[in-house]
Amino acid sequence: MKIQVLGPLSAEVNGGSIVPTAGKPRQILSLLALYPGRVMPVPTLMDEIWETEPPRSALTTLQTYILQLRRRLGTAMGPGAPGGAKDVLATRHGGYLLQIPEDCVDVHQYDYLVAEGQSAFEAGANDVSADRFRQALDLWNGPALVDVQVGPILEIEVMRLEESRLVTVERRIDADLRLGRHSELLAELAELTARHPQHEGLHSQAMVALYRSGRQASALEVYRKLRVRLIDDLGVEPSPQLQRLHQAMLTVDPQLDVTAGPRRTSTFDLFAA
């Protein structure tokens, strides 16, 4: 079985899709896929698909949805498959679970690669770090579960995944900056700062990339525009570390140069107190 949630929902067995067309069974499959090998309690599934207003027939309807998923699963597995759909989409006391290895689901491959990238990042292994982060990000094919109507539980999961994706992008850019790839990052950072106009971490990276590319004035202009935006929209000044980064650029601080040896901190935290 191969399941993808980092983008449109996809679930295949022997090359055949088992994704239902109806909305609520898609939600159930998505939630079970996020936690392979773990029992998803019936109340949790009900909360996801009906929130606070389950129908009187909620339990029977949920069982019907599970049966529909098993039928699709059984058809894809074929009659000669060892075990059966009930062994894969199994019933346990109080809930259901997908009995499949974690690496059958793209989100768990993503988490593994991110963990490897972070370990390499902290060790100063910049080439390895950038590569692992890039592999993790390549697993994404659009917003998580973009074609699934999410309830309150999946909504939290999607928010968590999207935040993780953005953090991974930041860490990959940090690794690339350590490797002296500042000029290659300028277009990407211009797009990211436009999409996240109040994100100080991305703006700090854009400033450093511009500064190292010989565009000090442009780097200072990025800071000026962000400061105006933060004051106008939120009534706050940039964070102390971003102010220190700005001051370092004004004084041509040598810490801003690409230096030999590992750098075990993020660009944003370079001037943290």
Confidence check: pLDDT of 39 > 80: yes
CA-to-CA distance for 18 and 12, rounded, in angstroms? 6
Structure tokens at 159: 């928010």
Contact indicator for 117, 136 with CB cutoff of 8 Å: yes
User: Which residues are CB-contacts of 200 (< 8 A; sequence separation ≥ 6)?
Assistant: 226, 238, 239, 242, 268
Q: How far apart are CA 48 and CA 32, in angstroms?
A: 11
pLDDT of residue 256: 86
pTM of the predicted model as reported, rounded to 2 decimal places: 0.88
Looking at residue 261, its pLDDT comes to 41
Residue 263: pLDDT band (50, 70, 90) is low
Phi, psi of 82, deg, nearest 5:
-65, 140
If you search the block for the tokens 């109040």, which residue do you land on?
198
Q: What is the mean pLDDT of the chain?
A: 91
Tell me the per-residue pLDDT of 52-106, one tens digit each, with 9 for 90 and over.
888 889 999 999 999 999 999 988 887 766 568 888 999 998 999 999 999 999 9
Measured CA to CA, the distance from residue 77 to residue 84 in angstroms comes to 8
> What letters, b where the CB count within 10 A reaches 16 and e where it falls short, cover 132-158?
bbbbbbeebeeebbeebebbebbeebb
